[in-house]
């Protein structure tokens, strides 16, 4: 158990990893230009058996600096203290038999109820997610929805997963990173937090960089190039060094469309299915 996590009785409120204490209601707004949500900064609460896995990669680079500066908040909640008995047991064998262990409904519920303290009960304002290979595939659209919430709570599974009853009873939304199986939800949670967080204003250095990239307009992004102009005999496409911004935009759009058509026929079909949409292919 880390010092950052609530005790088993849930008497201590969860605390952030951020170094700077954030007092959103006491601070004048002009001191928080990057956190327009007056109710508080965007917060991710993560229920996990491995709180030491956080902030992990989220502590690096732009998300790490924003975390250190209190522009978002990360609260890992150790599942272990909510376990049963002297050994704080969190799991048991699967009903019906089979290999592995399953996280207990009562233990997860106690952790979730503590994690819910001070959060809005409305799931639209504060989504409660279980990372699971059985979940709805995580997409950029979901990342955008999560970025617009006030915060979110994520449950990381381990072993064979979580007792279904607590997922049903507490209205967890199940989210999958993709059609593969991870050992635990921690990496998936970091991926979801990162994808949502970078869509928040004031997290990325260059706000425009989130506007043009892959999936935002239903297309994969065009290829990128930088110096040197020639590398191992390969030159940067002439149009990119022509200075003709219109030609550059047309080339990029054509490349994005060709890539999407070849690599992701599913995305390409979605674009054509919505012919009135802004992402309609150019021809
Ligand atoms: N027995 C389960 C897999 C459990 S893997 C099954 O077959 O469905 C252990 C934990 O890793 C899961 O509880 C989940 O939290 C996490 N996990 C594994 N794969 C994942 C994926 N594709 N997306 C999100 N979380 C995943």
DSSP string of 105-147, one letter each residue: HHHHHHHHHHHTTTS-S-TTTS-EEEEEEEEEEP-HHHHHHHH
| Residue that terminates a domain, selected from 197, 228, 263 | 197
Establish if 88 belongs to a structural domain: yes
Predicted confidence (pLDDT) per residue in 21-37, tens digit: 333 343 333 333 443 44
The token pair at 203 is: 């997290």
Integer Cα distance of 109 and 163 in angstroms: 10
The count of structural domains within the chain is: 2
Quote the ligand 1 centre to 102 CA distance (angstroms).
12
Ligand 1 binding pocket mutation candidate from 101, 105, 132 (most atoms within 8 A of CB): 132
Mean pLDDT of 52-62: 98
**Same domain, residue pair 178 and 107:** yes
Domain identity same for 106 and 242: no
Q: What is the CATH number of the domain that holds 168?
A: 3.40.1280.10
- The pLDDT of residue 5 is 42
* Chain segment 260-275, per-residue pLDDT in tens: 999 999 999 999 997 6
In tens, the pLDDT along 201-211 reads: 989 876 557 77
In 3-state terms the chain splits into helix, strand, coil percentages (rounded to 5) of 35, 15, 50
Whether residues 239 and 129 share a domain: the answer is no
The predicted pLDDT at position 216 comes to 84
- Cβ pair 199, 142 in contact under 8 A: no
The pLDDT assigned to 279 comes to 53
* pLDDT value at 18 more than 70: no
pLDDT tops 90 at residue 179: yes
- State which residues form the domain around 52: 42-197
Does the pLDDT at position 73 exceed 90?
A: yes
**For the CA of 155, the nearest atom of ligand 1:** 15
**Rounded to an integer, what distance in angstroms lies between the CA atom of residue 65 and that of residue 20?**
11
Residue 21 inside a domain? The answer is no
| Cα–Cα dist 130/149, whole Å | 16
Instruction: Name the average pLDDT for the chain.
Output: 87
Question: 177 and 60, same structural domain?
Answer: yes
**Residue 102's pLDDT is what?**
98
pLDDT over 90 percentage in the chain: 77
The answer to whether residues 148 and 225 belong to one domain is no
Q: Provide the pLDDT for residue 205.
A: 77
Instruction: Kindly state whether residues 58 and 184 are assigned to the same domain.
Output: yes
Residue 208 lies in a domain: no
- What's 266's domain CATH number? 1.10.1270.20
Per residue in 91-133, pLDDT (tens digit) is 999 999 999 999 999 999 999 999 999 999 999 999 999 999 9
Does the residue 62 lie in any domain?
yes
Q: Is the pLDDT at 10 greater than 50, yes or no?
A: no
224 and 188 co-located in one domain: no
Give the lowest-confidence range in 37-51, 78-92, 96-110, 204-218. Answer: 204-218
Cβ(120)–Cβ(45) below 8 Å = no
Atom of ligand 1 nearest to the CA of 134: 8
Ligand 1 centre distance from Cα of residue 98 (Å):
16
Predicted confidence at residue 282, as pLDDT, reads 59
pLDDT at site 142: 98
- pLDDT at residue 283 in the model: 52
Q: Considering the chain, what percentage of its residues have pLDDT values greater than 70?
A: 82
Shared domain for 223 and 136, answered yes or no, is no
In a domain, 78, yes or no: yes
Mean pLDDT, rounded, for 169-191: 98
Q: Does residue 205 form part of some domain?
A: no
Is residue 160 a part of any domain in this protein?
A: yes
Q: Higher model confidence: residue 104 or residue 213?
A: 104
Ligand 1, pocket residues at CB < 6 Å: 131-134, 156-158, 160-161, 176-178, 180-182, 184-185, 188
CA–CA gap between residue 119 and residue 117 (Å, rounded): 6
In a domain? residue 54: yes
Same domain for 53 and 140, yes or no, is: yes
């Amino acid at each position: 158990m880390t010092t950052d996590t609530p005790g088993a009785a849930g008497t201590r409120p969860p605390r952030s990893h951020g170094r700077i204490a954030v007092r959103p209601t006491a601070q004048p707004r002009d001191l928080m230009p990057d956190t327009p949500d007056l109710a508080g900064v965007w917060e991710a609460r993560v229920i996990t058996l491995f709180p030491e896995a956080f902030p992990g990669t989220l502590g690096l680079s732009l998300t790490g600096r924003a975390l250190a500066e209190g522009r978002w908040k990360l609260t890992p909640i150790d599942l272990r203290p909510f376990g049963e008995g002297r050994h704080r047991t969190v799991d048991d064998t699967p009903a019906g038999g089979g290999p592995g262990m399953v996280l207990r409904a009562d233990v997860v519920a106690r952790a979730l109820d503590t994690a819910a303290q001070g959060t809005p009960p409305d799931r639209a304002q504060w989504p409660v997610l279980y990372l699971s290979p059985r979940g709805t595939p995580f997409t950029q659209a979901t990342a955008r929805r999560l970025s617009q919430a006030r915060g979110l709570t994520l449950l990381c599974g381990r072993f064979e997963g979580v007792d279904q009853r607590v997922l049903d009873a507490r209205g967890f939304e199940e989210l999958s990173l993709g059609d593969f199986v991870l050992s635990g939800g921690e990496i998936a949670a970091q991926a979801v937090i990162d994808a949502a967080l970078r869509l928040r204003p004031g997290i990325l250095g260059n706000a425009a960089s989130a506007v043009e990239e892959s999936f935002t307009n239903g297309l994969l992004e065009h290829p990128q190039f930088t110096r040197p102009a020639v590398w191992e005999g390969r030159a940067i496409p002439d149009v990119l060094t022509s200075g003709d911004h219109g030609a550059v935009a047309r080339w990029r759009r054509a490349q994005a469309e060709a890539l999407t058509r070849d690599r992701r026929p599913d995305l390409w079909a979605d674009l054509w299915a919505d012919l009135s949409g802004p992402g309609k292919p150019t021809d």
